[in-house]
Amino acid sequence: MTTATEARSGKGHRDENFPVASHLIHPRHRGPILDFYHFVRAGDDVADNAGLSPERKIALLDGLADALTGRGPDDPEAAPLRRSLAERGLPPRHALELLDAFRMDAHKTRYDTWDELAHYCRYSAVPVGRFVLDVHGEDPGRTWPTSDAICTALQVINHLQDCGKDFRSIDRVYLPRETLEKHGARIEDLGAERATPALRAVIGELAQRCLDLLDEGRPLPDLIDDTRLSLEIAAIHRLAVVLARGLLVRDPLSEKVHHGKAAFALTALGAAATTLARRPFRRHLHPALRGARP
């Protein structure tokens, strides 16, 4: 395997657990966000490819980075994002940080503590939110902290939903060892058809941490100047809350945590409508916005 393209899984943005550049996003911003997604998806597929050695994964990820920055040969997975970044005058920082996360995945399969997992999320999830905000020209000082909290929660929710599959297919465990030991759970429990009570307790504790992070990120839609992006993030936030609450009571090894598409659509639309109704009053809700664009 000589290119990242050969490692592609076939998964696309419509297969993700949360919306990616939905039609709530203005068309002028959807292109760069999708270019970013496809680049990141290529790197993620390399990291998750069970047929590649860690060394080969690193080499392919380095090739993607060099193609994006112009230090190496062009790559069809990097070229669209490179053009979008040049057109917007944006640096490749966020995409390169995600490649750092995939390099971690190439070598690291276990996490000892919550802080260690949060550090991984700083590179595997946080740059996504920051890139979307940068594309929209949002104020980093005002929006990044709450975005970081939401993105970290989204990443851990995905880990919890996929914990059994990740263990069985690629021997990767994102549940911190300290939390497993606290509740008397074993890594091997992830290979069972149903979660043990101990593993359910682990999942519940981590889901509650996600809810705490989502509560920290709750103000973000009101802090964003672009109305359409505000509605998108409100929808994602509400969906994440629903999933995290679901993980408190459902077993991801044996049950679907996701609701059906219709229920998810109604949840997202309800969040967007609530946020839209609140837009005229956001400066009263958040005094820091009094100098922001209408």
What is this structure's pTM?
0.89
Rg of the chain on CA atoms, in Å? 19
Q: What is the pLDDT of residue 271?
A: 76
| Euclidean distance between the first and the last CA atom of the chain, given in angstroms as a whole number | 51
Burial of 159 (0-12, 13-18, 19+ CB in 10 A): buried
- The angle formed by the CA atoms of residues 216, 217 and 219, to the nearest 5 degrees, is 105
Identify the CA nearest to 176 among candidates 165, 187, 161, 164: 187
Q: What is the pLDDT of residue 172?
A: 96
The three-state secondary structure class of 28 is helix
The DSSP symbol for 17 reads S
How far is residue 32 from each of residues 26, 89, 233, measured CA to CA in Å?
A: 11, 12, 17
pLDDT at 9 over 50: no
What mean pLDDT value characterizes the chain?
A: 89
The DSSP symbol for 25 reads S
How far is residue 80 from each of residues 25, 31, 86, measured CA to CA in Å?
A: 19, 9, 10
Around Cβ 154, how many Cβ atoms within 10 Å? 27
CATH 1.10.600.10 fits 108-278, yes or no: yes
Q: What is the pLDDT of residue 275?
A: 76
Question: Six-digit token pair at 234?
Answer: 């409100």
- Summarised one tens digit per residue, pLDDT across range 248-284 is 999 999 988 776 666 666 777 777 777 777 777 666 6
What amino acid is encoded at 45 in this protein? D
Q: Is pLDDT larger for residue 121 or for residue 13? A: 121
- Summarised one tens digit per residue, pLDDT across range 135-193 is 999 999 999 999 999 999 999 999 999 999 999 999 999 999 999 999 999 999 999 99
Q: Token match 């991801």: residue?
A: 252
- Residue 92 CB partners (closer than 8 Å, separation 6+): 68, 69, 81, 82, 85
Q: What percent of the chain has pLDDT over 90?
A: 74
Residue ranges covered by each domain of the chain: 27-93, 108-278
Question: Six-digit token pair at 58?
Answer: 């690193």
The three-state secondary structure class of 273 is helix
